[in-house]
Amino acid sequence: DAGVIQSPRHEVTEMGQEVTLRCKPISGHDYLFWYRQTMMRGLELLIYFNNNVPIDDSGMPEDRFSAKMPNASFSTLKIQPSEPRDSAVYFCASSLGVVTEAFFGQGTRLTVV
């Protein structure tokens, strides 16, 4: 397996624009996680899915953020409208179980200007 695949690797957008980040988890993994990494807060969990169902979205900062997992092999994280303070590296990770090791993608570096 190629591991967790995220796209794009880098995204630069203007304030107010919609941004969509994509993730393909490892095949067979039932859990998918979206994390955001910032200098101030470190690595923080935004939302996670179990068998394509959102389980905990308490980490999603605002209504501007939404995430979907239409099937077992694809998830999106959308920010609409984007703001400069959303600039961060966004990681997707997947795992077999909620307590087992998480495998991270390469991350998407988002810059909102």
Partner 1 sequence: ILNVEQSPQSLHVQEGDSTNFTCSFPSSNFYALHWYRWETAKSPEALFVMTLNGDEKKKGRISATLNTKEGYSYLYIKGSQPEDSATYLCAFMNTGFQKLVFGTGTRLLVSP
For binding to partner 1 (CB under 8 A), which residues are involved?
Answer: 33, 42-45, 48, 56, 91, 98-107
3-state secondary structure of 76: strand
3-state secondary structure of 36: strand
Least distance from C-beta 36 to partner 1, angstroms?
11
| Residue number with CB closer to partner 1 (45 or 72) | 45
| Residue number with CB closer to partner 1 (19 or 93) | 93
Least distance from C-beta 15 to partner 1, angstroms?
27
Least distance from C-beta 98 to partner 1, angstroms?
6
| Residue number with CB closer to partner 1 (82 or 95) | 95
Tell me how far apart the alpha carbons of residues 52 and 10 are, in angstroms, rounded to a whole number: 25
Strands (E), 1-113: 5-7, 10-13, 19-24, 31-38, 42-50, 53-56, 65-71, 74-79, 88-95, 103-104, 108-112
